[in-house]
Every structure is written in C-alpha cells, then in structure tokens.
Structure 1
Amino acid sequence: MSSPTAAAAPAKPAKRVKRNRLSGGFFRFVLTRFLLIIPTVFILVTVVFFVMRATGDPISAALGGRLAPDELQRRIHAAGYDRPIIVQYIDYLGGLLHGDLGTTMTDNQPVVSILTRYGAATLELAILALIIALLVGIPLGRLAAHHRDHASDAGIRIFAILCYATPVFFLGLLLKLVFAVWMNVLPSSGRASLSSEMQFTRLVSPTGLYIVDALQLGDMSVLADVLRHAVLPALALGLLTAGVFIRLVRTNVIATYNSGYVEAARSRGVGEGRLLGKHAWKPALIPIITVMGMQIALMLAGAVLTETTFEWKGLGFMLSTYLKARDFVAVQGIVILIAIIVAVVNFIVDVIAAIIDPRVRY
C-alpha cells in the first residue's frame, strides 16, 4: 500500500511543470515571431529605398523634363537629394520613426494622408475577396475530395486551375464584359455611384470602408449600391485565391482519408459522411490557415491590377498612378505600408497555426 502512494505523489508536480513549460514556450514563440517583424520591415525598407534611387533622385524622376534645369536643381537642393545617399537614408529612417513618410512629388501631399485616405478601400476589397475565396474554395475542395476521381472532381480541379492560372486583370475584363456590358446588371467601375458618395459626406466620422459607412447612414439603397459595385472586383480577386484553396483542401482531405486513425474509424463501421465531417475535415483546414498569410500577400499584389481594372480607388490604384508618374516617394510609402501589413498578418497566422496545429513545436 505504501509504495503506490509514494509513486503517485510526485505525479502532480511533474504534470504541472510540463504545463508551465509549454505555456512559457508558447509565449517565447509569440515574442520571437513578433520581434522578427522588425528586421523583416527594416530589410524591405532598405531595399526599397536604394532601389528607388538607383535611377536618380525622386525629383528628377518625377519632374525632370517639366522644369527648367535651374529650378530642378533648386528643388533637388531644397529637398536634400544632392547629399550623400547614406545621409539621405539615415534621415529617411529618422522620419519613419516619427511617422513621416515624406511628401509626394506630383501633387505635394503627405504620403501618410494618401495611405489613410485610400488604405480603407484596399482593406475592404481584400476582406471581400477573402470571403469569396473561402466561400468558394473550401466547399468545392471538400466536394472534390468526397467525389475523388469522379467527373465532379475533374470539373472542380479544372475550375481551380483556371482560377489561379488566369491573370486577374484578364478575369476582371471578362467579368466586366459579361456582367456590365452584355447583361448590364452590375456596374463596371468605381466603389459607389456619385449619389451614394454624396451621401457619405453627411457622416461626421467616415471610416472609408463604404459598407460600414453605408450601415452608419442606415440607408439600404446606399448599401445595395456599394455591394453591387464591389461584386466584380471582389470576385476577380477572390477567385484567384479560391483556386489555391480548392487544391489545398482537396489534397489534404484526401491525405487525411488515408491516415491510420481514419482507417481505424472506417474499420469500426463509421460512415463516409461522418469520416469526412468529423475526422478528415478539421485537419484539412490547418494548411489553409498556415498559407493564409502568403495568400493575403498575393492578394495585395493582385489588388494593384484589380483596382486599376475596375478603377477602385485604393492603394493599388494609387500605386499604379504614382508609378506611371514616377513619383518614387509615394511608391516607397505605399510599398512599405503593404510590407508592414503582410508582416503583421503573417505573425497573426503563425500564432493561430501554433494554437490549432499540434505539430507545431515551441
């Protein structure tokens, strides 16, 4: 009687030590991933700064040929672009630490105001596109796995290939041709009609997210107008990512079907529907979450072409505009913001994956 009692006594402290060790390891994992954002953004800021100046100073790039040589040199000297490049770089880093991203060359606006004014439009488009990608990609991937090697599976795989292989601008033009020109059921460009945008001026504190602003107004006709304008851009950008999700879900559900614990459940007489819903479905979602950060980065890259195609005035549209004008100060600011967004999103995705994926060790 005495020996079992003595053996059981240290069991509780050992279990408690393990729990504390895992908890501390998780927080160290989160802190490490968070701190990695700093060198990631720093490296990208450095690369963008020097690449933007590889062809000369920003003023000559944006205004060269439109100003007299004396006036051009005066502006270059006033902006400090005739100083050594390393001095300009240190000054630029100092400005970043104080939230100063410079002033655009073409329209003389603070870059920060450009980011705040048009960033909400890109955020809204990315959220809507991600919703479409999830609503289309996950159910179709699940259906394809359930009907593996049947006609429906082949059709869904072809659809997935077309989604991620078709250039987003071509898909956007095709959608505009079908739904805006031939069928005339959806608008071809813009975020809202002129009358709806006039309604937004009544708001005391607009968010820039037109769906949220329409809900603030409480006008369902304005909300319907905003949603009608958002359908085609969100569909064009969302289907690009949906193709990736379809193949990920299909591949991982099939792989889970062939795993040992699913075979054991099948041998006990568990039905195929229950195997899919309970045993194979949840593990297949983990890869979706782990690649979400990368897909959002690709989505932001695709937003440049999508916003240009549909004249959706967000950061992608403005980036295209400033690139054409060779306004490298504005381009630099927009690229840096996108880099920060991607780094933060990847950090959040890493943390979520560490929580739900038992294979992650920390």
Structure 2
Amino acid sequence: MTVHAQETSGAVGSAGGAAGYGLARYLIVRFLLIIPTVLVLVSVVFFLMRATGDPITTAFGDRLTPEQLQAKLHQAGYDRPLFSQYLDYLRAVLTGDFGTTATDNRAVSEVLSTFGAATVELAGFALLVALVVGLPLGMVAASYRDRAPDVALRLLAILNYATPVFFLGLLLKLVFAVGLGWFPASGRASIDVQLELQDRSSSTGLYLVDALRSGDWSAVTDVLAHAVLPSVALGLLVAGVLLRLVRTNLIGTLSADYVEAARSRGVGRFRLVTGHATRPALIPVVTVLGMQIAGLLGGAVLTETTFEWKGLGYELAHYLTARDFTAVQGIVAVFAVVVAVTNFLVDVVAALIDPRVRY
C-alpha cells in the first residue's frame, strides 16, 4: 500500500513538473516573439516612410537652391545609403534614442512622455465601454438565439464594427454635443481644469487620476464629461467584436453536457448563463481582447483627431501630414511595443486560465 502511494505521489509530481515546464517553455517562446514582432513593424514603417520621399525636399524644395537643399539633406543624413540609415535607426532605438522631430525640433521621447498618457487614458475608457456594452449584450444574444433580440443585436454588432470610427465620432458630436448640448464636443477637459491639473508637480498626465487625487469633484465630473463621446466612439468599435464572440462561445457552452444537466434540474436561464456557461465562454474572449488593443490604438488616431484629444494619435496624424519620419517612426515603435507586450500578457492570462493553450 505504501509503495503504491509513493508511486502515485511520484507520478503526480512528475505530471506537475511537466506542466510547469510546459508553461515556462510556452511563456519564454511567447516573450521572445515580442522581438521579431516589433522589429518587423518598425522596419515596415521605416521603409514605407522612406518610399514617399524625404520631408526636407517636400517642405523646402521650392524655396532653397540645390546647394542649400543638398546641405540640409546631408545634415539630416538623408543622402546616405538607405540601409545605413536603417541600421543607424535600429541602433538608436535599442539605446532608447528615438531622435528629434524635424517639424518642431523636439525630442521624440518628450513627445511620447507628454502625450502618451492621454492615449492610455482614452484607450482605458474605450476598453471599459467595450466590456460594459459587448459582454452583457453578447450574453443576451446567446440567451435568445435566433429570436428577435438576437437578430437585432447581431445587426447592431455588425453596424458597430463596420461604421468608420471618425464617422461615428462626428455623428456623436453632432447629436449629443451640438444638437442636445449634453457633452463637450472636444478636448480632454475645460481650459481652467486642464491648467489646474497640468500645474500640479505630481501630475501623471492622466486627467482622471489627477482629478481624483486632488479631491476636486467638479474637475472629476468635467474630465468624465469630456471623455464620454470619444470613449463611446472608440469603444463601440471593439464592443461589436466582443458581442459576436461572446454570443458564439456562449451558444457552444450552453449546449454542453454539464449545462444540459443543470437545465434538467430546473436551473433558470439567467443562472445557466451567468453561473454555468459564462466562464468557459470567456476564455477565447481574453485572447481576442488582447488583439483588439491594436485596434484601439489604430482607432485612437482618428478618434483623437475628431475630438481634438491631444494624445499620441493626434500627434501622429500631425506628423504624418508633415511626413516627419523621425516622429512617426518613434510613435509607431512605441505602439508596436505596447501591442506586443499586451498580447504577451494576454497569452500569460490565457495559459493560466486554460492549460490547453500551453501545448
């Protein structure tokens, strides 16, 4: 009996060690994939920007003599072989040097630190909207499969995803800001609140956090009011994806044997959905939600421009118009790192929730 118990204990220990090794190997591989992901995206942006020509010729080509133009190109390094420029850029990025913007002569790192918090705040608000709208509506759609609520919600999800975010933003501004006057049409806060929050020595750049720390509830209300329309415009883009995904997965789990057994015992529809079927159905949602971070960052460019939300998306649109290579490459590099790291963290969560994804 003792020998059998020891053998069983050894087998369990071996299985646990194998599972731990599998998880560690999976996480190491996923972490190492961050490097090629960022490298590919940064490289694509570098060569695409160079294919459009240099910004100096575009800005000063008709105002400078050929000699003066050549001198400026040489000073900026645009007359050197393209591959040499590429290698120098990669070396600089690896040391944390993103260069200096050509249009306003600012360090790109300063642009990132100044405007990055605004984009993070908007993405956080939009993600909250997506979760609040997408998850419960997906559960409702699955509960009323192929009936009127399900059909209506599926159409709504398709409409949300298909509508351009800038068009939805303009529509929201027209109805709720201009027409009804319920919310501000642009900006992150009123001018006086913005100046008050920026003047604080401990400012984080996250207006809601700074307003809460100050204890000024009028400032908190003002910041939230300014965030409603851009957050809804951007959040509905992801909410449509979540709604359809939650619906599809819940329909699958609602037909599982253990759910059918609970239904046969007289468990009600609400408890079946929320207590038995939801958790297994949300595992794929966690993975997809990480991939939607890229959509939020991409949509932030148009949303911030539409609502004059002074974040990295707003600045990126400005630098793209000016064809400022250095600024665009720096901002895109940061976006790439954020997306890659977020996807890695999502993989970690998914592996902890569902051991099957490790193999």
Alignment partner for residue 225 of structure 1, among 204, 215, 222?
222
* Structure 2 counterparts to residues 252-263 of structure 1, below 5 A: 252-263=249-260
Q: 2:26, 2:358 within 8 Å by CA — same for their partners in 1?
A: no
Gaps of 5+ in 2: none
Q: How many residues align?
A: 359
C-alpha distance after superposition, 1:277-307 (max 9, x if no partner): 2221111111210101211111111111111
Q: 1:62, 1:327 within 8 Å by CA — same for their partners in 2?
A: no
Structure 2 distance, partners of 1:285, 1:66, is 60
1:353 to 2:350 alignment: yes
Structure 2 distance, partners of 1:238, 1:66, is 45
Q: Where does residue 76 of structure 1 map in the other structure?
A: 73
* Structure 2 counterparts to residues 229-244 of structure 1, below 5 A: 229-244=226-241
Q: 2:97, 2:109 within 8 Å by CA — same for their partners in 1?
A: yes
Q: 1:203, 1:217 within 8 Å by CA — same for their partners in 2?
A: no
Structure 1 distance, partners of 2:260, 2:59, is 65
Q: Where does residue 6 of structure 2 map in the other structure?
A: 9
Change in Cα spacing, 1:359 to 1:62, as seen in structure 2 (3 Å) is farther
Structure 1 distance, partners of 2:72, 2:274, is 66
Give the secondary-structure state (helix, strand or coil) at the position aligned to 2:358: coil
TM-score by length of 1: 0.95
Change in Cα spacing, 1:135 to 1:142, as seen in structure 2 (3 Å) is same
Structure 2 distance, partners of 1:224, 1:131, is 17
Q: Where does residue 316 of structure 1 map in the other structure?
A: 313
* Structure 2 counterparts to residues 139-150 of structure 1, below 5 A: 139-150=136-147
- Offset at 1:83? 1.4
- Offset at 1:50? 1.6
1:168 to 2:151 alignment: no
Gaps of 5+ in 1: none
Structure 1 distance, partners of 2:305, 2:184, is 15
* Structure 2 counterparts to residues 1-362 of structure 1, below 5 A: 4-362=1-359
Q: For residue 312 of structure 2, what is the amino acid of its counterpart?
A: L
TM-score by length of 2: 0.95
Deviates most, 243-252 or 58-67: 58-67
Give the secondary-structure state (helix, strand or coil) at the position aligned to 1:291: helix
Q: 1:304, 1:315 within 8 Å by CA — same for their partners in 2?
A: yes
Q: 1:164, 1:241 within 8 Å by CA — same for their partners in 2?
A: yes
Change in Cα spacing, 1:204 to 1:41, as seen in structure 2 (3 Å) is same
- Offset at 1:276? 1.5
Q: For residue 289 of structure 2, what is the amino acid of its counterpart?
A: M
- Offset at 1:63? 4.1
Structure 2 distance, partners of 1:19, 1:206, is 47
